[in-house]
Structure 1
Amino acid sequence: MVAALLLLAAAPVAGDAPSPPPSPVSLRLNAAEAHQGAASDGTYLYAIDNDRIGKYRIATGEKVAQWQGERRLYPHMNSCTVVGTELVCAASNYPAVPQTSAVEIFDTRTLKHVRSTSLGFGPGSLTVMDRHEGKWWAVFANYEGKGGEPGRDYRHTVLVRMDDQFRAEASWAFPEAVLARMAPKSCSGLSWGGDGLIYATGHDRPEVYAMKLPEAGSRLELVDTIGLATPGQAIDWDPKVKRRLWSIGRGANEVVASEIREVSALP
């Protein structure tokens, strides 16, 4: 009976089904830049917009630094993650085509932009750059309609493992059930969990998809779908508070901390 209930909990959510109930929210912080995503080092929050970043102290909500870029150089910065003393951000020319992408890196202490790595033309628009087990993990999003290229749509969204020079080593397609929930947009956020699972969000639905690398083949496996209090966009796990996931309330100018339940990675 217990096994049957676990299987039911991990069953894919149909493309037209309502989202699961939202996870509990423990904290909300106002952040004017919270339009694309959020990142955290456990002490500070980084709210991300296309061409600006705000740094906030989690304990007080106080804004301590801000960076503003030139829009023609930073048309669409989507998500960031903290690696050491650097804020590593995924950027693209969305919604322009052909799709081009770059990795933009900032000093977390000052928010000064320190370097840029152009990835040029790729298999989509770069929306995620995460760090896990000594590798970079990138998501190249594809879209149906605005921002999409002929011959590719949301079904061509791909997770790519990269070396330290951002050179592709391996790649995986997303589960069909997840793509159906993201359609006609794509993956806006992804962050490796401490449990060894991959957590991803789409562009609009208030839910996060727990996935794992497959034992064989080229498509990620969906483990569970979890409800969020915010509608998609970029996410980041808090490195100090276990199971705390940061996301943004797009339109509400706020960063939200959700307490995500433990997920069982069934064989």
Structure 2
Amino acid sequence: MLALALLLAAATPEPGTQPAPAPQTLPAVTEVARFSAEEARQGVVADGKYVYAISNAEIGKYDRRTHELVERWRGDPARFRHMNSCILAGRQLVCAASNYPEVPQASSIEWFDAGRLSHVRTLSLGPGRGSLTWLDWHEGSWWACFANYAGKGGEPGRDHRYTTLVRYSPDFQEQGAWLFPPSVLERFAPYSSSGGVWGRDGLLYVTGHDRPELYALRLPPAGSILEHVATIPLMTDGQAIAWEEGANRILWGIERKTREAVAVRVPEMTGP
């Protein structure tokens, strides 16, 4: 009996020892909304009433129904060099910013009152893992992506392969860090990840800088390399993304070349 138990135990793979399934290619997203927004140069975020378009040192607040500009915030470009993306956290916009393309790379997090569209708080992260491009809140933690580049804005000895996902406590104490898988990094090259959000399905959805693709990733059961689950064709070319608050799988992004805010419905994941 003992021999049989040992044989069964040996035949049962331990967690993390099985190879990850090959990434799926899912159907393309479906467009549900599009309108012009002058500030749509880096990213966009939306709730049920307003859409906030983000540029390096500007945020435009637009009425969802009429697409009219409600308010615009402009910052000092010397202080706000490269605001990359924002998320909505209650009645605040929480934005990822960096000094790109300057080196050494340095990053900060900027908070805005979404109602008055005024800057209320800053946290300097200084130099470190790269340039902060996006930030999200998930399972009681902050998750931040630090981009690295092969060329402009990159530091010697670090290219796009050094792009890193970092998990922080609510007060920004580091709790863990992961690198991106080669199959996604080769699509980023020579740039990095410009957008990322956690889905309700527990997967991390990220975009690169200029490819019309959305990558679904998950944390590995062991090790420090994220797993590539699926690639989803987009109709916009990378940049920052954000789920619409209160909607099911409605993802907002931008079409940079036409300065448009674009909303799409992302297909549900299937399989493992």
TM-score by length of structure 2 reads: 0.90
Is 1:98 matched up with 2:104? yes
C-alpha distance after superposition, 1:166-200 (max 9, x if no partner): 22110110111000000000000001111111000
**Other structure's SS at 1:180 match:** helix
Quote the residue 2:87 is aligned against.
Answer: 81
Quote the residue 1:186 is aligned against.
Answer: 192
**Other structure's SS at 2:59 match:** strand
Aligned length: 252
**Other structure's SS at 1:136 match:** strand
Quote the residue 1:262 is aligned against.
Answer: 268
Is 1:28 matched up with 2:34? yes
C-alpha distance after superposition, 1:76-125 (max 9, x if no partner): 00000000111000000000000000001000101100010000111000
Mapped to 2, the partners of 1:75 and 1:265 lie a distance apart of 42
Q: CA deviation at 1:41?
A: 2.3
Mapped to 2, the partners of 1:197 and 1:140 lie a distance apart of 19
Quote the residue 2:257 is aligned against.
Answer: 251
Mapped to 2, the partners of 1:156 and 1:137 lie a distance apart of 16
Identify unmatched segments of 5+ residues in structure 2.
1-20
**Other structure's SS at 1:230 match:** coil
C-alpha distance after superposition, 1:37-85 (max 9, x if no partner): 0112232111000000001121221211110000000010000000011
What aligned pairs does 1:1-267 form with structure 2 within 5 A after superposition? 10=24, 22-264=28-270, 266=272
Quote the residue 1:4 is aligned against.
Answer: none
Report the AA paired with residue 70 of structure 1. Answer: D
Mapped to 2, the partners of 1:136 and 1:89 lie a distance apart of 12
Report the AA paired with residue 193 of structure 1. Answer: G
Change (3 A) 1:102 1:265: farther
Change (3 A) 1:161 1:9: closer
C-alpha distance after superposition, 1:6-58 (max 9, x if no partner): x77716xxxxxxxx874210100211000000112232111000000001121
Percent identity between the two aligned chains: 54
Given that 2:23 and 2:229 are in contact with CA atoms closer than 8 Å, whether structure 1 keeps it comes out as no
Given that 2:56 and 2:82 are in contact with CA atoms closer than 8 Å, whether structure 1 keeps it comes out as yes
Given that 2:41 and 2:254 are in contact with CA atoms closer than 8 Å, whether structure 1 keeps it comes out as yes
C-alpha distance after superposition, 1:173-228 (max 9, x if no partner): 01110000000000000011111110000000001001111111101101100011
Given that 1:223 and 1:265 are in contact with CA atoms closer than 8 Å, whether structure 2 keeps it comes out as no
Mapped to 1, the partners of 2:137 and 2:168 lie a distance apart of 10
TM-score by length of structure 1 reads: 0.91
Q: CA deviation at 1:233?
A: 0.1
Mapped to 2, the partners of 1:166 and 1:92 lie a distance apart of 17
Given that 1:22 and 1:206 are in contact with CA atoms closer than 8 Å, whether structure 2 keeps it comes out as no
Mapped to 1, the partners of 2:250 and 2:85 lie a distance apart of 17
Mapped to 2, the partners of 1:251 and 1:260 lie a distance apart of 22
* RMSD across aligned positions (CA): 1.4
Report the AA paired with residue 162 of structure 2. Answer: H
Mapped to 2, the partners of 1:54 and 1:61 lie a distance apart of 11
